[in-house]
């Protein structure tokens, strides 16, 4: 799939926070349609579906909101544990859209991503969903591809210069990778690079 890439910071423990505290993204981007009036989809909320659930004193960013991703670590039962989700600041991930679904891609599958501008290619996991275009990737991904982007607030890869190659069924055990190096090792072990020709 050829794509541009909006930057997704969901899953990062400092993705969203209370007013006055530095975060990776604007509060409005955690809502459907990037409008504060829209449904909250970027972090956990109380039963009112508006009030954020915040991290505790032993969490990575106490007081910040608990940002979630569609793919998560099944070994962590507590949905309020920020470590349960794919950290957009540390892990390369792409967002599952309509194209991927039509080709039997599921959350947790692996992908190879290439930039025709920077000539860099990296491995990623299908870590989130919600954008039907699929033209969205984690902050870690765009940085690994060589783009000088520091947050999810304004910058994105606006030109269609990204090639995403999905590998459907490549993670049937729903393995969760806490570090990019573990994800890379798994992808190399599956010899995915032999199946990826970005041109």
66, 94, 129, 178, 184 from 171: Cα distances, Å: 25, 15, 17, 15, 13
pLDDT tens digits for range 22-52:
999 999 999 988 888 889 999 999 999 999 9
pLDDT value for 127: 98
Report the sign of the C-alpha dihedral through residues 44, 48, 51, 56, in that order. negative
pLDDT tens digits for range 93-135:
999 999 999 999 999 999 999 999 999 999 999 999 989 999 9
Tokens for 177? Answer: 């990778």
Query: Rounded mean pLDDT of the chain?
Result: 93
pLDDT value for 103: 96
Tokens for 185? Answer: 């090792």
Q: What is the DSSP letter of 3?
A: E
The answer to whether the beta carbons of residues 156 and 6 sit under 8 Å apart is yes
Tokens for 117? Answer: 């501008």
- Taking the C-alpha atoms of residue 113 and residue 120, their distance in angstroms, rounded to an integer, is 8
Residue 15 contacts by C-beta under 8 Å, 6 or more apart in sequence?
A: 9, 23, 24, 25, 30, 42, 43, 64, 65, 67, 88, 152
Name the pairing type of β-strands 110-115 and 136-138.
unpaired
The answer to whether the beta carbons of residues 10 and 136 sit under 8 Å apart is no
Percent of the chain with pLDDT over 70: 96
pLDDT value for 98: 96
Percent of the chain with pLDDT over 90: 85
pLDDT value for 199: 44
Instruction: Spell out the domains of the chain, with CATH numbers in brackets.
Output: 2-7+88-195 (2.40.40.20)
pTM of the model as a whole: 0.93
pLDDT value for 44: 98
The answer to whether the beta carbons of residues 141 and 187 sit under 8 Å apart is no
Residue 196 has pLDDT above 70, yes or no: no
Residue 142 contacts by C-beta under 8 Å, 6 or more apart in sequence?
A: 5, 7, 149, 156, 157
pLDDT value for 190: 84
pLDDT value for 194: 58
pLDDT value for 189: 87
Instruction: Give all strands (DSSP E) within 28-142, no chain letters.
Output: 93-96, 110-115, 121-129, 136-138
Residue 69 has pLDDT above 50, yes or no: yes
């Amino acid at each position: 799939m050829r794509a541009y890439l909006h930057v997704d910071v969901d899953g990062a423990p400092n993705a969203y926070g209370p007013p006055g505290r530095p975060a990776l993204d604007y509060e409005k981007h955690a809502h459907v349609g990037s409008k504060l009036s829209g449904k909250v989809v970027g972090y956990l909320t109380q039963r009112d579906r508006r009030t954020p659930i915040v991290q505790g004193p032993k969490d990575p960013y106490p007081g910040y909101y608990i940002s979630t991703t569609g793919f998560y670590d099944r070994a962590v039962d507590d949905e309020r544990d920020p470590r349960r989700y794919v950290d957009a600041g540390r892990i390369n991930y792409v967002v599952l859209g309509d194209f991927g679904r039509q080709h039997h891609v599921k959350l947790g599958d692996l992908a190879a991503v290439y930039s025709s501008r920077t000539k860099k290619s990296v491995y990623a996991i299908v870590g989130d969903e919600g954008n039907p275009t699929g033209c969205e990737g984690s902050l870690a991904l765009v940085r690994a591809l060589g783009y000088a982007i520091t947050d999810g607030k304004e910058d994105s890869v606006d030109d269609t210069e990204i090639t995403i190659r999905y590998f459907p069924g490549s993670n049937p055990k729903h393995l969760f990778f806490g570090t990019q190096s573990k994800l890379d090792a798994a992808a190399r072990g599956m010899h995915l690079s032999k199946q990826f020709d970005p041109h």
